[in-house]
Amino acid sequence: MGEPAALRHLGGDRRAPRPRRPADGVRDRSRIAALPRAGDDPRAATTGSGRHAVNRYALTFAVRPGSEAAVAGILSGYHRPPPGASGGGPPGGGPPRTLLDRTSVFMAGPTVVRVVDITCPPAEAIRHLAGRPQIRAVEDRLRPHLLEPRDLSDEDDRRRFLATSAMRVAGRRGTAERGAPRTAALYRALPGRGREVAGLLAAEAPLDGAVTVFRRHDLVVHLTESAAPGHAPGSPPVPLAGLLAPLVRLARPMTLVTDRVVEVAA
């Protein structure tokens, strides 16, 4: 019987992977513990330090097949909303911090993944965005294309969206400069193998820059931040494609739709 079509492009060694223990530090809470106010949130990875420390979250949702081009156009073309400000400055004094630090949107087929770096709990960030006219206009244009309808102006819907879209952090390794170029790869694991796929990806030390691995059920996203050649947006790699071939039904690079970094004072 032939090999499933979804796996043919993976290439590499298709032998079943040997069991591997995650490398020390992959689950190190000092690396992925949330900032104050966010608590010990398994959905968040903390990056940066001092007044530039942020919590990183990934939210995923699906759009109707055939609407990918329209959705990419909507998500890449909207006007940037104001980043908002926290109620107080960072510890030790200083001006109030912006709520939103960076937003990157990736797509692979009908799957959308939005990676956000924020200085507040995600519910507060979504509430802030839902009140901005730019985002309300985007949501109105997205509504016909969404597989699961949502109304971010409604508090219950915001809570439901966060509960059904937030991915968990499987691990973060390495360091990267703020604003470093991002690439991403998406993996759809075989039923029940998502945790194993995420663990293998999280255990792999990056050759350069930083890696964050997110998982929701059997959907895994590998995010790379690196200024090294070969990691430019538009040509992301698919790490461990051969090793993971027996565990996934799909592995593919994601397309970067938009990437917006808030300018901050030095």
Q: Domain ranges in the chain?
A: 5-261
Spell out the residues 6+ positions from residue 152 whose beta carbon is closer than 8 angstroms to its own: 126, 129, 130, 135, 139, 158, 161
Whole-structure pTM value: 0.77
**Within 37-132, where are the H helices?**
68-77, 122-130
Task: Tell me which residue of 107, 97, 51, 93 sits closest to 221, measured CA to CA.
Answer: 107
In contact, 71 and 145? CB cutoff 8 Å: yes
Q: What is the mean pLDDT of each run of 10 residues along the chain (266 residues)?
A: 41 42 36 37 67 83 97 87 50 56 94 92 83 87 95 90 94 88 96 97 88 96 82 64 96 95 65
How far apart are the C-alpha atoms of 98 and 86, rounded to whole Å? 6
Residue 214 has which token pair? 């997110």
- pLDDT at res. 101: 86
Token couple for 132: 């901005």
Q: What is the model's pLDDT at position 82?
A: 55
Residue 177: per-residue pLDDT: 86
| Token representation of residue 263 | 């300018």
Q: Please tell me the predicted confidence (pLDDT) of residue 264.
A: 60
**Cβ atoms of residues 26 and 171 within 8 Å:** yes
What local confidence, expressed as pLDDT, does residue 134 receive? Answer: 85
Whole-angstrom distance, CA of residue 139 vs CA of residue 221: 24
pLDDT at 51: 57
Q: Single out the residue of 118, 122, 127 nearest to residue 97, CA to CA.
A: 118
Q: In sequence order, what DSSP letters do the residues of 152-174 get, joined into one string?
A: TTSHHHHHHHHHHHBPEEEEEEE
CATH architecture classification, 5-261 = 2-Layer Sandwich (3.30)
Ranges of beta strands (E only) in 11-68 are 45-47, 54-62
Name the β-bridge partners of 186.
221, 252
